[in-house]
Amino acid sequence: MATNFSKELAVKPGKKVRLSDWDPEDTLGWDKGHKMKESLEKNIEKLDKLQYLLYAEHKRALLIVLQGLDAAGKDGTIRHVMAGVNPQGCKVTPFKKPSVEEAEHDYLWRVHKAVPEHGDIGIFNRSHYEDVLVVRVHELVPKDVWTKRYDQINEFEKMLHQNNVEILKFFLHISKDEQKRRFQQRIDDPDRRWKISESDFAERKYWDDYTRAYEAALEKCNGAHAPWYVIPSNKKWFRNLAVSHIITETLESMDMKFPPPTVDVKKLKWK
């Protein structure tokens, strides 16, 4: 079936954002099965070829930002969607609590260092948006500090875009009940219990606060140069399918070309 995932799931610039308008169970009419699996596999194959072309052209980079509440599936998205890419040209950077060195710099310092170089794909597992999310929810800095960061982030992303870094931002949208179910799965599975922490449960009481913080970030930091997509993620298979489609659609729209050879191949002779 033909679905324009980029169009269907994009946050419209200039519009008020209410996450309640997006159903985390939505699959845009897709069903889990052969057609879905075939489409995902085709996208993974395409992504391998497009990454090679991106590296060969070496004029642009792709930055993928993954945000979401605990258990939304950031790690799973990376594992399943990026399964076929060459690890030499793809780097994943997780953003956790800043180190002592990072805390001694402005909040974007560690982020800029991790931006992919031309020819590469960079993936942020959480990102600079933590500084208008967790920082806001837990009041780690005064309100007059974090409110200025929306404009700072917009300028930062515009600068990256003007320097040939394409940016895709995905909010993996799950329901509170689905998060609880996934936490319980981790508790029940001895091989996954290591992923559970007390903070996961403590953060659930801030669910509404995080929702408002995300809505503000999606609304205030969204534009053609760095679009946000809300990915319904209660169904893991649909999450992977949607993200894979948007990444491949974006890379294909870049109209990349292989560079000409650096030598005259006709003059090369075997010895």
Mean pLDDT computed over 22-27: 98
* Prediction pTM value: 0.96
Confidence of residue 1 (pLDDT cuts 50, 70, 90): low
- The alpha-carbon radius of gyration of the chain (Å, integer) is 20
Please report which helix (H) or strand (E) contains residue 125, including its range.
strand 121-125
Q: Environment class of residue 134 by beta-carbon count within 10 Å: exposed (0-12), middle (13-18) or buried (19+)?
A: middle
Predicted local confidence at residue 200, as pLDDT? 84
Could you read off the pLDDT of 131-189 as tens digits, one per residue?
A: 999 999 999 999 999 999 999 999 999 999 999 999 999 999 999 999 999 999 999 99
Paired strand residues for 232:
173
Domain enclosing residue 157, as ranges: 40-256
Predicted local confidence at residue 30, as pLDDT? 97
Predicted local confidence at residue 195, as pLDDT? 87
Q: How many structural domains is the chain composed of?
A: 1
Residue at 263 is within a domain: no
Residue 89 neighbours by CB under 8 Å, 6+ apart? 51, 54, 55, 119, 120, 121
Residue at 228 is within a domain: yes
Reduced to 3 states (helix: H, G, I; strand: E, B; else coil), residue 167 is: strand
Q: What is the largest CA-CA distance in the chain?
A: 72
Is the distance from CB of 222 to CB of 132 less than 8 angstroms? no
Residue at 159 is within a domain: yes
CATH code, domain with 157: 3.40.50.300
Could you read off the pLDDT of 182-202 as tens digits, one per residue?
A: 999 999 999 988 988 888 889
Sign of CA pseudo-dihedral 42, 44, 47, 49: negative
Residue at 219 is within a domain: yes
Paired strand residues for 171:
67, 230
Q: What is the mean pLDDT of the chain?
A: 96
According to DSSP, the β-strands at 90-94 and 121-125 are parallel
User: 52 pLDDT exceeds 90?
Assistant: yes
Could you read off the pLDDT of 204-232 as tens digits, one per residue?
A: 999 999 999 999 999 999 999 999 999 99
Predicted local confidence at residue 245, as pLDDT? 97
Question: Using CA atoms, how far apart are residues 176 and 116, in angstroms rounded to an integer?
Answer: 33
Residue at 7 is within a domain: no
